[in-house]
Chain A
Amino acid sequence: MAQIEIRDVSVDYKRPNSEETFTAVDGINLSIEKGSFVTIVGSSGCGKSTLLLALAGLIPYAKGAITVDGKTVTAPGPDRAMVFQDASLLPWRSVHGNVRFGLELRRWRRDDLDQRVTRFVHMVGLGSFADYHPHQLSGGMRQRVNIARALAVDPDVLLMDEPFGALDAQTREVMGDELLRIWERDKKTAIFVTHAIDEAIFLGDRVVVMGKNPGHIREIVEIDLPRPRTSAMLDSPAFIAYRQKLRDYIAADMASLQMVKDVA
């Protein structure tokens, strides 16, 4: 059995101010091996973030089962850590204090707590900004803190919900490189949600393509590019072929929706 098993999972959402529910994702089956990097792409509204939140234990799922190392996911647990799209940093705490926050919540009682915080702040390249507060940092720096906070609690699985979604293209590439550099060290299982196709190919061992209405897995594409990945690969024929393939899948999904609309 793989480290993460998602079996026939569907997630229902209650519409605001009514008893009516609608199905956000349905019939999801996915196995993720320990130490692999899986990216999930799809157009907005395909439920990719919903699936990730269910995996994090932050929202309940209606049907099926999610297990991590054989244990059923019902709530957030120490085996998983989440990186959010908005950095969700405490504005009144410094970089150091924010990385410490995750450890405090996990009841990390060891003497080396502050040393550990310092180590992870350095790891994401913010050594000289440890005393800065979030409002004094750029968007990319805030995401570095976000990532350091998640890594510091030493999770088995790192869940990332469009962490670079709000960054400009250049910063985004740099952050992708950095993320891989950090990930290569101890190869924690990583699940990364994005709507950027290039990012999904560049980072992932596998790319999961999701479709809409309700959210479902459309295709899973193995990315057979050597590691460590470099930005030169972005222009390689293999990369371009993957890009084309993924675009076609997503376009096909959009087109099928369009037809439904036309018929209606």
Chain B
Amino acid sequence: MTRVFYRHQALLSGLISFAVILLVWQLVVDLGFVKAFFLSTPTRMATEFMRQLKTGEIAANLSISLYEFAVGLGLAIAAGGVCGVLASWSRTLEAIFEPFVWFTYSSPTIAFYPMFIAWLGLGAPTIIAIAFLFAVTPIYANTLSGIKNVDQDLTRAALSFGARKTDLFIKIALPGSVPILVAGLRLAVGRALTGVVAAELFGATAGLGFAIAYYGQKLKTTEMMVNLVLIVICGVICTQILSLLEAATDKWRTGPGR
């Protein structure tokens, strides 16, 4: 029993603290210290979750949000990756892309939301565009710096064996920049999710962010918080998937094997 405890100590400690917080949350409301209006309770939210699940509300909102997230992130990976590779080959292209990087990094992109609505209408295309803009910069910047900062000693060694440009790219630059590419992906996933939710909050007709804004304006705390928790769960699942990806690409650091 103690051995089982030690092996999973981190996980168990996390679960216990989580359970304690849920319990305290439930008690402060049930015992009347805080009104349910401000905090709701875990049990109320569970009941409400089941209701929204039955009415199909959750399925509808979750699927539209995930769709917008996936398309926005996918476009960002494609565009950011391709532009990053091209810019790593040409200084001129890098200089051309540079102002856009400053722009998207330093400006609150969400402030351009009204313009996107004017261009693309109120709905998925606008939200996808916002998610794309949020996510594209870290993908581009990390692809560029990963490929550009390739180890010059490795390049020289490869050249001495008659490496061609494609060899340098495929056998050195790409595998060498995997860690920084994954780091860029991690940033992009977080930013794409933020982009989707923020855009949905401002004005949309469906999605988890829309549900939060909708129930929030009606002062329905429990209904709103069910959707909030769903977003948190999505975020956690995404980062866990990325951790697995990171571990898989980093296997060579931890043990022998080809």
**Contact residues of A with B, CB < 8 Å?**
56-58, 76-78, 80-82, 84, 86, 88, 90-94, 96-97, 101-102, 104-106, 131-133, 135-136, 153
**B258 to A153, Cβ gap below 8 A?**
no
**A90 to B154, Cβ gap below 8 A?**
yes
**A58 to B159, Cβ gap below 8 A?**
yes
**B162 to A88, Cβ gap below 8 A?**
no
Interface range, B side: 20 to 34
**Contact residues of B with A, CB < 8 Å?**
153-154, 156-163, 167, 171-172, 175-176, 178, 252-253, 256-258
Inter-chain CA distance A105–B158, complex, in Å, is 7
Q: How many A-B residue pairs have CB under 8 A?
A: 67
**B156 to A101, Cβ gap below 8 A?**
no
- Given A90-B175, A131-B256, A131-B258 in contact, is the A106-B157 Cβ separation under 8 Å? no
Inter-chain CA distance A92–B167, complex, in Å, is 16
User: Within the complex, what minimum Cβ distance (angstroms) separates B237 from chain A?
Assistant: 28
Inter-chain CA distance A96–B158, complex, in Å, is 16
A104 proximity list for chain B (CB < 8 A): 167, 171
- Given A97-B258, A104-B171, A131-B256 in contact, is the A84-B162 Cβ separation under 8 Å? no
**Contacting residue for A84 out of B156, B167, B258, CB 8 A:** B156
A105 proximity list for chain B (CB < 8 A): 158, 161-163, 167, 171
B158 proximity list for chain A (CB < 8 A): 101, 105
- Given A86-B153, A88-B153, A90-B175 in contact, is the A132-B256 Cβ separation under 8 Å? yes
Q: List 10 A-B contacts (CB under 8 A).
A: A76-B159, A76-B162, A90-B154, A90-B176, A92-B175, A101-B171, A105-B163, A105-B171, A131-B258, A132-B256
- Given A88-B156, A92-B175 in contact, is the A76-B161 Cβ separation under 8 Å? yes
